Structure 1
Amino acid sequence: MASTLPAFTDLNATWTFIQPGLEFILGAQNEQGVTSTMYMNCYTAVYNYCVNKSRRGSNPASLAANTENNSYSLAGAEIYSKLETYLVQFIRNLKKNPTETFLEFYVRKWTRFTIGAVYMNNVFDYMNRYWVQKERSDGRKDIFDVNTLSLIKWKHEMFQLNADVLIDQVLELIEKQRNHLIVDTNLISTAIKSLVFLSIDIQDLKKPNLIIYVNAFEKPFLEATLRYYLKESSQYLAHHNVVDYMKKCETRLTEEISRSNTYLEDHSKKQFVDILNQAMIENHAQEMYGQFIILLEQKQIEHIQRMYKLLSRVPKTLDPMASALEEYIKKEANIALEEIKNQNEAEIKEGKRKPGSGIEPKVYVNTLIAIYNQFNEVVIEAFNKDTKFIRSLDNACRHFVNNNVIAVPRPRAQSKTPELLAKYADGFLKNSAKDADIVDMNADNLMIVFKFLNDKDTFEEHYRRSLAKRLINGTCKSDELEESVLHRLQEENSIEFTSKMTKMFSDMKASEDLKLKVKERSNGENNAVIKDFNPLILAQSMWPFRHVAEYDLKVAPELAAPFAHLQEVYSEQHNGRQLQWLWNHGRAELKANLSRKGKPPFSFTVSNVQLMILVAFNAKNSYTFKELHEKVGTKKETFEAHLAPFTKYKLMDQSTEEINDETVFTLVDEYKSKKLKVNFISAIKTNETKQEEDEASKEIDEARKTYLQACIVRIMKSRKQMKNNDLINEVLPQTSSRFKAKILDVKRVIDVLIEKEYLKRLDNNTFEYIS
């Protein structure tokens, strides 16, 4: 290349001067690069041509005039045209070595060409900044800066003519890489990256554009990926088990995602992952579902977790898995509960348990808890606490807790789970329970099962009744424990749910205060017969006790004074209130000097009726049945039931085998029991338990009707008018926190409210609220 710069007015001389330098810049001279001198000469020649040709006219006079007017016509069209023609010829003259593939040739030449294009763009910098910019601002969208022009010419003259060959060879290399053959990954990434550079929007050069990349590479690449993995996964599964296949999937996914990060654009990555998920996971989800239950049975948590992680890549494939888990939990729960039912029946046949005795609450609840814990652990470890699987576990638990062979022994019967759970709670809250018997019973288990109850109000009623007995009999293990359980029930449901029970504790405290006042008012008078008197004043609306006429007792004269004194003190405090004695509740501890000389007296635990019977024997040792009954009172059947334990445990002798009015009962002079403390209450046989159950059921039904009425009135008050179905559909969800209401019950309550004139039925099956 000559070192003397050409005349700035001579286009051909200028082009002839710079062309050899462009050859070096673009690598046409055996990849030899341009020198700094050559580069500066090219730049100066182009600069001189563009600057000096930009003045209007070419003679000195015109030049002088233009200088005065400071008016220019930017030059560059002729040299731009020369460059355009040159680039086309240069690219067409590029030749592939016989020993290289087209992909290798393409990448080698592209790499060198793009480097040269950047330098060449600098050579024509002045033209780019003035002439090109002016032309484009004037609307010439077919004029580009030199670097962009180079890429466009490469696209037209190299890529578009050989696109199919290039992409086929890229995809071939990618497949070889998938087959674990050694390939030059630089060829893949450089070729794909070139498509991104070639994706030029000629209307707006600054606008991101991937049209060449997407159409030429992305679509065939994704299609090839889908074909490859559909084939591979089917072939692999035909010769391997599902667990091995899942491991293979994990490996493949890791490999593909790692490789894709080196050559895929972000635009493709999501679609690429979706294709992998479709081919390897979604397409074979059924095979995984088929193995899922087997893995559950074998407790293969690691493999279940692997399956979950794979399926979670396609979220919709998790739904059948979650449903399968729910059904499996239900099935396992049914098997476990059938087993304890059959075991109970077998023990009854063998005589180990009394006929008709049900499942022990502890065994039943602990079985429910064991099932829950087993699958809760699976949900935590294998499914990473996924809400879908938590919901499946909850649904399954709600089903087997409320509906199983023990809870519902007969079709359409009310579930016994709430009642059994209340008895379970009573078991570990009583102070009479041995620590060894309740080691695996606690409030946590109680709350887990409680959460799944449909009829929480049924549990509340039975729990309230057992709590009432613990309170009045002084059998609470701990006040703190009772209050903590109550607080947890309140948190789980509502303050309203536990309001009655909270008031019961208040009544116990008020009763203690009353007892102290009665003691203060007694002025230190000591009763030789009564050592300690603990009266309990219970609000009738809060406690589950009702006055029973069959238990109307005649208080023994020696016991009458404290009762009268209590009545007097209470009446002074609460003028107008009436007290009704609940003789069928409460108990007494009395000393009986019926042992041998020198031995301590016996301590008897008795009911109030039994207390009056025994106190009568202080007067004489024998009574006929009629005399004793008249002295004690109560209904005859009740009296007989409370008397029976004394003869059963040999405290009294009975003159005739069959009891009649003349049967004589004689208190023994010396009681032969080996125990100093004897409980006669436990042997009383009455139908009180059945009556209590009937009373509890009746109270639950009444409470539900009241709750439904309040709910309907509240809704109608705000809506004024509602159609029948709309009203029912709004009521049912609002009652679900307390009980599972039936549509028939809602309809009956609506009829009651119509009778009470809260609602009015309109012609089109619509109800109107009457204010």
Structure 2
Amino acid sequence: MSFPSSSDLDGTWSFIQPSLGLILGASGDQGVTPAVYMNCYTAVYNYCTNKSRNSSLANNNNAVNNSYSLAGAEIYAKLEAYLVKFITGLTQDANESFLEFYVRKWKRFTIGAGYMNNVFDYMNRYWVQKERSDGRRDVFDVSTLCILQWKTHMFTNNADKLINETLVQIELQRNNQIVDTNLISVAIKSLVYLGIDIQDLKKPNLVVYINNFEKSYLEKTAIYYKNESDDFLSKHNVVDYMKKCETRLNEEISRSNNYLEDHTKKALLVTLYDVLIKQHAEQMYDQFLTLLENNETDHIQRMYKLLSKVPSTLQPLADALENYIKNEASKVIEEIKKGNDQSMEDGEDAPKKKSGSNAPNPKVYVHSLIAVYLKFNEVVDNAFHKDPIFIKSLDNACRYFVNRNSIAASGPKAPSKTPDILAKYADSFLKSSAKEAETIDMNAENLMIIFKFVEEKDAFEEHYRRMLAKRLINNTSKSEELEESVLKRLQEENSLEYTTKMSKMFADMKQSEDLKLKMKDRLDNNLVKEFVPYILANSMWPFSKNDDYQLNLPIELQSILDNFKKLYEESHNGRQLTWLWNHGRNEVKANLSRKGKPPFTFIVTNVQLMILLAFNKKKTYSFGELLELLGTIPTILDNQIAPMAKYKLLEQNPPGLEHQNKPDTTFTIVDEYKSRKLKVNFVSSLRNEQKQEDDDAKKELDESRKNYLSACIVRIMKARKTASHNELYNEVVTQSLSRFHARNIDVKKVISHLIDKEFLKRIDNNTYEYLA
């Protein structure tokens, strides 16, 4: 075949046109040979270069323009017209759908467009590039021109038909029918290729894909799954529905990976989560409580995984969990109360029944609370994968039932009894007198589980410190190592400041031990065989001087105390010693047993010791004589002498409690004391001792809180200078939460106190100013 003249446009076009049809697939899959391909390329090249050369010469002869003129406009126009005619002339086979026709022709056309782009490579590189650089945005390289003509004359006219048939194929696949996924994939990907930005050919553009396919696809998907989910739930339970959801989500994710653009994947998941999960969240919430009751952790985990895909649906589930835990704990507390009331009716706890107290057994109470916590902590760990939202719900529920259950608080504003009960729990397994069988499963780990949720930590510290003080001065601690390990745990959970006083108490005990050894060499009293002094820092120990205990010391004790004071002043000049006669214990050997039997050992208080020492001088005293001899007040003597009369160590005349504190009532020491035990404790039977300790603890706690709030308010106001009441209250509450929850009424009282002390000044009804 001879090449046409390089200056002949029509000849050149007639030469290449038949081959262009073959390249684009006019004859099906029949292609072109390399020779034909090269002939087309050469013909286009010859025409463009010759035309450009002639234009340049003409311009030089006319001396008008010396620039090199590029040819291509005429052949570009013919190519554009040819493409329109070619595309509009494509016909669909009788036995194929439009989708099949479109995909078949598109695949062949895009392959041909790539080859055709190479045929017109010279024109692309010179004329097209020059036109576009000059601002022509209606001129494109041949490959792009082919795609644009396909979009205009094939896609635009048939877009609805193409998209509808594609969506039908997707729905058939969802219905488990076999479809040609390649058709779906090619059709969808063609929309991406058609999204050409004529202003910037290099910029990705999904406008065709989004407007023509994505919107319809998401709408159809939402409708399909709404209908399916509603129908499925009407015939199946929630657990089966959740399994169905998991399957459907996996299928759609797999489908999206096969033929959807990344832009659609996120929107698709949002649509699926909304239709399959969010719109049916209420049904899941309703089933949730049943799953909890049946302890079906696997199904709860499945529910959580689904709902976690829509974060807004988790909070109602967490709230449901919190309320359920509170209700379960309430049932447990009611069982404890019921068991406690039953034991009182059966006479198993006569002292409590007499006093009217319904305080529970600390071990039963604490272990019941722990059981609730551990049960639901396991649910949070396994089913909710320690999600912070559900950890918070568990913590909130535990904080509620630990501090405000029907045993802990008698009313909304009543102080919680849990700190006191928890301190008694710790005292139970830390005391050496506790039976091992009763404390075998009581330990510091359990203590710390509940302590973490106690709101009034300062109240626990006060009760625990008082019981620790008793264990230390009475030497009833199980072991020093165990005591210090618990102290360390409390410090780790709260702060170093929290345990400062208790740490100092241990230091005082060690120093007192050294004093005991020094004092041992100075004992020259035949009556006292051993003297154990405890020097306790006044600000650290929970003991206060009671002015009612102004005792007249017997001469047998005075010499020992004088010796000790002299010894102490030798080491600590200027320190003041104050004796706490309402504390301390004594072991007294009493030769009141039957002849030939070993003597009794009585454990008594300091006042009881002085009463007994008096009976060394004579056998009978009246109440009035003892009162004058001891120098105390009638109520104290009455309380201290009561156990001795009750357990027949002293014979009272006339007998009866109503005569016990009468001045003329006499008490006579028995010649022979009858008791099965050789060691008799008269301290544990004292009346009103616990009530007095509770009152002292409450008084000290109130004073401590007042001081803490005063320090907080002054510190805040010193930094702020001025603040409204609400701002000040909120800041105080925030700072005090680690110790207790400050009440508004308490803050107001402290503010009034600071105003009286001229630390603060009231500017108006709601604002305060700091006075330097």
TM-score of Structure 1 vs Structure 2, range by shorter chain: over 0.9
Map 1:308-387 to 2 at 5 A.
308-354=304-350, 355=353, 356-357=356-357, 358-387=359-388
**SS of equivalent residue, structure 1 residue 189:** helix
**Residue among 197, 210, 213 paired with 2:193:** 197
Deviations 1:190-212 (A, max 9, x none): 10000000000000011110000
Deviations 1:441-481 (A, max 9, x none): 22222222222222222112111111111111111222222
Say yes or no: does 1:121 pair with 2:117.
yes
- Whole-Å separation in 2 of the counterparts to 1:633 and 1:582: 15
Shift of 1:533: 1.8
The equivalent residue for 2:636 is: 638
Amino acid of the structure 1 residue aligned with 2:581? W
Aligned length in residues: 761
> Would you say the 8 A contact 1:590–1:603 is kept in 2?
yes
> Would you say the 8 A contact 2:505–2:541 is kept in 1?
yes
The equivalent residue for 2:500 is: 499
> Would you say the 8 A contact 1:625–1:665 is kept in 2?
no
> Would you say the 8 A contact 1:645–1:683 is kept in 2?
yes
**SS of equivalent residue, structure 2 residue 5:** coil
- Whole-Å separation in 2 of the counterparts to 1:245 and 1:591: 80
Q: Structure 1 pair 606/718, CA: closer, same or farther in 2 (3 Å)?
A: same
- Whole-Å separation in 2 of the counterparts to 1:409 and 1:13: 108
Larger mean CA deviation between 592-601 and 281-290 belongs to 592-601
The equivalent residue for 1:263 is: 259
> Would you say the 8 A contact 1:606–1:680 is kept in 2?
yes
Map 1:384-533 to 2 at 5 A.
384-410=385-411, 412-519=413-520, 522=522, 527-533=525-531
Shift of 1:672: 4.6
Map 1:115-154 to 2 at 5 A.
115-154=111-150
Shift of 1:41: 2.0
The equivalent residue for 2:565 is: 567
Say yes or no: does 1:678 pair with 2:680.
yes
- Whole-Å separation in 2 of the counterparts to 1:440 and 1:641: 37
Amino acid of the structure 2 residue aligned with 1:678? V
Amino acid of the structure 2 residue aligned with 1:663? T
**Residue among 90, 95, 106 paired with 1:94:** 90
- Whole-Å separation in 2 of the counterparts to 1:50 and 1:480: 101
Shift of 1:591: 3.8
**SS of equivalent residue, structure 2 residue 468:** helix
Deviations 1:720-770 (A, max 9, x none): 222233322332222222221221222222221111111222246422211
Shift of 1:226: 0.6
> Would you say the 8 A contact 2:60–2:66 is kept in 1?
no
Q: Structure 1 pair 764/436, CA: closer, same or farther in 2 (3 Å)?
A: closer
**SS of equivalent residue, structure 2 residue 768:** strand
Q: Structure 1 pair 297/443, CA: closer, same or farther in 2 (3 Å)?
A: same
The equivalent residue for 1:74 is: 70
The equivalent residue for 1:766 is: 767
Amino acid of the structure 1 residue aligned with 2:261? E
**SS of equivalent residue, structure 1 residue 55:** helix
Q: Structure 1 pair 46/593, CA: closer, same or farther in 2 (3 Å)?
A: farther
**SS of equivalent residue, structure 2 residue 26:** coil
The equivalent residue for 1:294 is: 290
Q: Structure 1 pair 645/726, CA: closer, same or farther in 2 (3 Å)?
A: closer
Q: Structure 1 pair 409/132, CA: closer, same or farther in 2 (3 Å)?
A: same
Amino acid of the structure 2 residue aligned with 1:608? N
Shift of 1:410: 4.5
- Whole-Å separation in 2 of the counterparts to 1:90 and 1:592: 128
Shift of 1:603: 3.8
Map 1:687-766 to 2 at 5 A.
687-763=688-764, 765-766=766-767
- Whole-Å separation in 2 of the counterparts to 1:291 and 1:8: 83
> Would you say the 8 A contact 2:581–2:607 is kept in 1?
yes
- Whole-Å separation in 1 of the counterparts to 2:111 and 2:192: 16
Amino acid of the structure 2 residue aligned with 1:719? R
> Would you say the 8 A contact 2:448–2:490 is kept in 1?
yes
- Whole-Å separation in 2 of the counterparts to 1:145 and 1:427: 91
> Would you say the 8 A contact 1:55–1:71 is kept in 2?
no
> Would you say the 8 A contact 2:709–2:750 is kept in 1?
yes
Amino acid of the structure 2 residue aligned with 1:513? D
The equivalent residue for 2:52 is: 54
**SS of equivalent residue, structure 2 residue 560:** helix
- Whole-Å separation in 1 of the counterparts to 2:179 and 2:192: 22
Larger mean CA deviation between 466-475 and 671-680 belongs to 671-680
**SS of equivalent residue, structure 1 residue 422:** helix
> Would you say the 8 A contact 2:318–2:393 is kept in 1?
yes
Gaps of 5+ in 2: none
**SS of equivalent residue, structure 2 residue 53:** coil
**SS of equivalent residue, structure 2 residue 452:** helix
Deviations 1:5-47 (A, max 9, x none): 3322222222222223222222222311222222222222222
- Whole-Å separation in 1 of the counterparts to 2:735 and 2:745: 16
The equivalent residue for 1:665 is: 668
The equivalent residue for 1:577 is: 575
> Would you say the 8 A contact 1:103–1:166 is kept in 2?
yes
Deviations 1:95-152 (A, max 9, x none): 1111111101111111111111111112221211111111110001111111111111
Amino acid of the structure 2 residue aligned with 1:350? D
The equivalent residue for 1:537 is: 535
- Whole-Å separation in 1 of the counterparts to 2:486 and 2:53: 98
Q: Structure 1 pair 628/38, CA: closer, same or farther in 2 (3 Å)?
A: same
What is the RMSD of the two structures over their aligned residues, measured on CA atoms?
Answer: 2.5
Q: Structure 1 pair 12/404, CA: closer, same or farther in 2 (3 Å)?
A: same
> Would you say the 8 A contact 1:56–1:66 is kept in 2?
no
> Would you say the 8 A contact 2:588–2:602 is kept in 1?
yes
**SS of equivalent residue, structure 1 residue 561:** helix
Deviations 1:251-290 (A, max 9, x none): 1111111111111111111111011011111111111111
Shift of 1:622: 5.8
Larger mean CA deviation between 702-711 and 148-157 belongs to 702-711
Larger mean CA deviation between 138-147 and 578-587 belongs to 578-587
The equivalent residue for 2:30 is: 32
Larger mean CA deviation between 38-47 and 750-759 belongs to 38-47
**SS of equivalent residue, structure 2 residue 438:** coil
**Residue among 27, 31, 43 paired with 1:45:** 43
Deviations 1:152-197 (A, max 9, x none): 1111111111111100000000000111111111111110000000
Shift of 1:610: 3.0
**SS of equivalent residue, structure 1 residue 538:** coil
Say yes or no: does 1:6 pair with 2:4.
yes
- Whole-Å separation in 2 of the counterparts to 1:576 and 1:407: 46
Q: Structure 1 pair 673/764, CA: closer, same or farther in 2 (3 Å)?
A: closer
Amino acid of the structure 1 residue aligned with 2:697? A
Amino acid of the structure 2 residue aligned with 1:217? F
Amino acid of the structure 1 residue aligned with 2:457? K
> Would you say the 8 A contact 1:50–1:127 is kept in 2?
yes
Shift of 1:49: 2.1
> Would you say the 8 A contact 2:403–2:416 is kept in 1?
yes
Q: Structure 1 pair 301/153, CA: closer, same or farther in 2 (3 Å)?
A: same
- Whole-Å separation in 2 of the counterparts to 1:620 and 1:152: 127
- Whole-Å separation in 2 of the counterparts to 1:546 and 1:507: 16
> Would you say the 8 A contact 1:8–1:14 is kept in 2?
yes
Over the matched positions of the two proteins, sequence identity in percent amounts to 63
Shift of 1:436: 2.0
> Would you say the 8 A contact 1:427–1:438 is kept in 2?
yes
